[in-house]
Structures are given as structure tokens and as C-alpha cells.
Structure 1
Amino acid sequence: MKTSATLKKLVQEKYSKIAHQENPSCCGSKDENQEVYHMMSDDYTKIEGYQATADLGLGCGLPTQFAQIQKGDTVIDLGSGAGNDCFIARHETGESGKVIGIDFTEAMIHKARINAEKLGLNNVEFRQGDIEDMPVSDNLADVIVSNCVLNLVPDKEKVIREIYRCLKPGGHFSISDIVLAGELPEALKTDAEMYAGCVSGAIQKNDYISNIKEAGFIDLVIQKEKPILLPDSMLNRYMDAEQKALFKSGETGIFSITVFARKPGIKPLKSLSNAIGNPSNQFTPGAASGCC
């Protein structure tokens, strides 16, 4: 079993290479089979604040679309990469707000800072650091966002506690991530990482939700959920017909979820109906919509 330090080193090496690629694909995968990549990524291009040069195609959702960012807010983006979600957040928070991007990889921080300088954004800052021990003070952020990052972190519970520490009372987060439902063959999870990335570190959805609740967050809502439908060419290597049927039905599988939750406090908040987003865009297999 790889140690936490080894896993972090692998992440740094992997994302340093991605930062220097001209056309990276999802989580660094360059396999000829792009079906998984297209299932994981969402289309950012029509969202205000989007910057194509900062979009490395590494996400699995659109957390900023659901994050209820208001003018003047302080926003933190965990695993900020080349800065795309930060620049979208900056569009929402305006000149009176502040956006801080945190990333573990020096090459990503360098790339993001160049992008911010080209855009002339003086209230967007990028800090290199470990999101298990964030380089920010207590009760700083109104909103925290993250896109397909917690699955890469060995100690997810610690990150969630750090999110709680860094949010102001009444502050909230909107995080997109990869989770699992049911038990998948270990070999499949390994192979899925080669195709899509970000899968082998994912945990069960129920455990993910429990970690958030146990940290003290309230008003938890799954804002969006979609299945990652792996191609038959991959499934056939590891699953019999019954396992494939379960996987395709949504009872067992890999999912991208966007989760909203709030730190207790008195900060005014928009209605939760707005936080949930457009119900027509949600995928809620099984008990997803009622789990919280």
C-alpha cells in the first residue's frame, strides 16, 4: 500500500507534467479512448468568466455554477490548477471580492499566476500548499469551491475539517468530485484511472457524505450527479453480464457529484432551492436525492 507521502509525490509529478502539456486531457490520460474523458468533463465555455487558456480539462463538474457566489465574497478554490474556476469565481465576486486558489503543484501555481497577470486581475491570488493543511487563516472564506480534487487527497476527512476551519460562520462550499457506489473490481478501478484519472482515490458516496456531516456541516444537498459510463471494451475485461447490468443501471458505478453544505452561523444565505440548481439537469439514481 502506498503511503500518504508517496501518493502526494505521485500527484505532484503527474500534475507538473500536465501543467507543461499543450493539450492535456482529463487527469492526464492520453489514451486513445476518449469516451470516459467526455463523460467526466462538463462544458465550461458558456459560463461567464471562463478562460480557455486556463481550462486544462481536469474537472468533473461545474461547482462555481452552483456556488451562490455574491459580490464582495472571499472565495477559495481547492486544487486551482491553471486558474479557470478562480477566474469564473472572480467574475461573480467582482472587484470588491477576493479569490484565493490553492494548489499542491508549483508548475500549476506558476501557470495560474501568468494567466491572472494576462487578465489584469489584482484580486485573484494563487498560493502553493497542501489542502490537508491550507495556507489560510481561520474563518476567512464566504465560499469554498473545488473541482475533482478531493479524490486525489489521501486524508479526505482532514480536508473536510480544513474546509470547516477556513469558512466563516454561515459560509458554504460547493464541491464537485468523483465517488463510488457499490464495490467495483480492484483491477477495474486501476484501469479506470488510466483512462479517466481521479478514480482510484475515490471513496464510497455514503462515506463521502458521512464525512461532511460528521465535520459539523448542515444543509447538505447533492446539487448534481451524473454517472461515469465506462465503455464496454473496458467493462468486458472485468465484469460478467450481471455486474455490467448493475453498473449500467446506476446501482453500482462511478459518479460525479456536486455537493453543497454550510457551516453553522448567522451569515445570510440564499434559499436552498437556488442552491440545488435546475432539477432538469440532475441525475439522481436510487436514493441520491434523499440521502441528505
Structure 2
Amino acid sequence: MNDSTETADESDLTAAEQRRAVRERYARIATGSESASPDEESAGDCCGDDGGCCDPGVDSESRDSTALGYTDEDVAAVASGADLGLGCGNPNALASLDEGETVLDLGSGAGFDCFLAAREVGETGRVVGVDMTPEMVEKARDNVRKNDATNVEFRLGEIEHLPAADETVDVVISNCVVNLSPDKPQVFRDAYRVLRPGGRLAISDVVLTAPVPVEMRADPDSVASCVAGASSVDELRAMLDEAGFVDVAIDPKEESAEFVREWDDSLDLSEYVVSAAITGRKPDSA
């Protein structure tokens, strides 16, 4: 390794600096001062010069469906304003949700994945979204009313310390958010805590495929844009194993390089990260 790169666990930003950068960026998106998708009235390039979890190069009709794994039916089923185009996959497609289950979404944003999950679990099920950005939680709660989603609620909190009781959740989902955490092992430990025995983890996120340049790892915008904070497959597997998960599978999606390249105009970010499907299970006897 040369002097211009660091491993995924070495960042020049403190945990507080990382959280502040993430909270500020997504507060701007929630309030419309930084656009994230053509779904919003102030549409534009959500990545700006810094890249991010979005895909400005894909046309608005396919950005949040075929490019990321959603269907046209998914997009049509949720009222405008919930899909901000911030993900890197479709965690619901990994989760195999059943009617009556309780689902917890880590970093739920404006609620798009929560509302899709609510369709799968039905009236007897429940979906809880957790986000640390007050502006996003407020936006998501407004979207509850727009979608008449009586089985969905949103809570303010950090994904490292979830506002949920032990063993009360059947499925934990997340979409391109765990990479933003400065303490990913704690994210997985707390996800394990809230899951019932036999409960499932189904996450879409980015994984590191090559060392990120030092200047990117020290840049708050790069960390907040789902690039500089990513971990490798081996690192993620070790975190999940340490947390207690079994049947762990991490499947990098090489085809995702096509939309990752569009995240930044000046750099090919697919040289460093690709999207991956990450799944695991809490043992039945836990």
C-alpha cells in the first residue's frame, strides 16, 4: 500500500465529526436545500462535486427502480416525496417479508423502504424507521399521512443505539446507511439485540473494493456521501460474526459499478466501492 491510501478502519475524522457531516448533509436534503432526486421540486444534482448515494446520471424514470432493484410498481405504490434516490439497492427484495412481521429500518430517511415494507407485512405487521436527522424524521412523518400508512412509525435515534426494546423485531433492513456510521460493529450488535431469535438482517450497502485515498477519508463530504466510510467484505463479515449473526452472506453487485460511476463527475468511484447485498440471521436459540 502506498502513502496515499489507508485501510477502511483508518479515518482522520472523529466520530463526532462524521456524525455531524452526515446529519448536516441529510438535513439539507430533507429541507430541499440540497436536492436528492427528480422526485423533489428542487431537483438537481444531489451529489454536487462530492459524489454520494445517488445516481444523477440515470434518467428519473429508472433511477429508483430498475437501476437499484425496485420495480415500477414499487415506485408507483408510494406517494411522491418519500423516494429521495439515496439508496444503492432494494433491501426489501432481500428480506422476504411475511405478513404480520415487525420490520426496523436503519437510517430510514423519508420512508420509502418503510412504506414498501408495510405493503408486505400488511395490517397485522408493523414497520419502524429510525433516523438521526430530525428534519428527515419530520419529513417521514409527513409522508405517513400522505401514504395513509397506519402500520408505520418513525423514531429519532442513532443506529448504533436503536430506540427499540430487546427481541422485538423480526427483520432489520437498511439501504446505504451503515457505511455512514463511525462505529459499524456497534450497529450490528444493536441490530442483533433488537432481533427476535431467528430474526433476519437484510441490508443493501456499499463495500470497499480498493483503499480510498487519504484526502477522501479525511473529507467530511466524502464520508457523508457513502464512499469514504465503506468497509471491505472481510471487515463486514468479521463484524457480523462478532455480533453473533449466522448464515452471513455478502454479495457484491459488480453491475452496480454502472450507477456508482455516475455519483461523481470528476472521479470514478466504482474504483473504490460497489453495492452489495448483506444478509444474516440471529440464531433460533439466541
Query: Residues 37 and 196 of structure 1 are in contact (CA less than 8 Å); yes or no, is this contact kept in structure 2?
Result: no
Q: Deviations over 1:195-241 (max 9, x none)?
A: 992101112221012111121111112356234353797459xxxxx
Q: How many residues align?
A: 254
Q: Deviations over 1:134-193 (max 9, x none)?
A: 000000110010000011110000000001001000000110111112324334667896
Among the aligned pairs, what percent are the same residue?
40
Give the deviation of 1:259 after TM superposition: 0.8
Q: Deviations over 1:113-136 (max 9, x none)?
A: 111112211110100001110000
- In structure 2, the CA distance between the partners of 1:266 and 1:73, relative to structure 1 (3 Å rule), is farther
Aligned counterpart in structure 2 of residue 154 of structure 1, from 165, 182, 187:
182
Aligned partner of 2:48: which letter? K
What secondary structure sits across from 2:231 in the alignment? Answer: coil
Aligned counterpart in structure 2 of residue 20 of structure 1, from 31, 53, 56:
31
- In structure 2, the CA distance between the partners of 1:210 and 1:32, relative to structure 1 (3 Å rule), is closer
What secondary structure sits across from 1:82 in the alignment? Answer: coil
Query: Are 1:263 and 2:282 counterparts?
Result: yes
Higher helix share: 1
How far apart in 2 are the matches of 1:262 and 1:139? 13
- In structure 2, the CA distance between the partners of 1:193 and 1:45, relative to structure 1 (3 Å rule), is farther
Aligned to 1:241: none
Correspondences of 1:55-204 after superposition (within 5 Å): 55-187=83-215, 197-204=225-232
- In structure 2, the CA distance between the partners of 1:74 and 1:33, relative to structure 1 (3 Å rule), is closer
- In structure 2, the CA distance between the partners of 1:165 and 1:199, relative to structure 1 (3 Å rule), is same
What secondary structure sits across from 2:16 in the alignment? Answer: helix
How far apart in 2 are the matches of 1:9 and 1:195? 11
What secondary structure sits across from 1:146 in the alignment? Answer: strand
TM-score normalized by structure 1?
Answer: 0.77
Aligned counterpart in structure 2 of residue 4 of structure 1, from 7, 11, 15:
15
Query: Are 1:254 and 2:273 counterparts?
Result: yes
- In structure 2, the CA distance between the partners of 1:191 and 1:19, relative to structure 1 (3 Å rule), is same
Query: Residues 110 and 140 of structure 2 are in contact (CA less than 8 Å); yes or no, is this contact kept in structure 1?
Result: yes
Aligned to 1:44: 70
Rg (Cα) greater in structure: 1
Query: Residues 105 and 129 of structure 2 are in contact (CA less than 8 Å); yes or no, is this contact kept in structure 1?
Result: yes
- In structure 2, the CA distance between the partners of 1:23 and 1:186, relative to structure 1 (3 Å rule), is closer
What secondary structure sits across from 1:230 in the alignment? Answer: helix
How far apart in 2 are the matches of 1:126 and 1:192? 26
- In structure 2, the CA distance between the partners of 1:29 and 1:120, relative to structure 1 (3 Å rule), is same
Query: Residues 67 and 143 of structure 1 are in contact (CA less than 8 Å); yes or no, is this contact kept in structure 2?
Result: yes
> Which 5+ residue runs of structure 1 have no aligned equivalent?
237-246, 268-292
- In structure 2, the CA distance between the partners of 1:6 and 1:108, relative to structure 1 (3 Å rule), is same
How far apart in 2 are the matches of 1:70 and 1:44? 18
TM-score normalized by structure 2?
Answer: 0.78
Relative contact order, higher structure (CA 8 A, sep 6+): 2
Aligned to 1:230: 261
Aligned partner of 2:36: which letter? S
How far apart in 2 are the matches of 1:32 and 1:160? 28
How far apart in 2 are the matches of 1:9 and 1:139? 30
> Which 5+ residue runs of structure 2 have no aligned equivalent?
1-11, 38-44
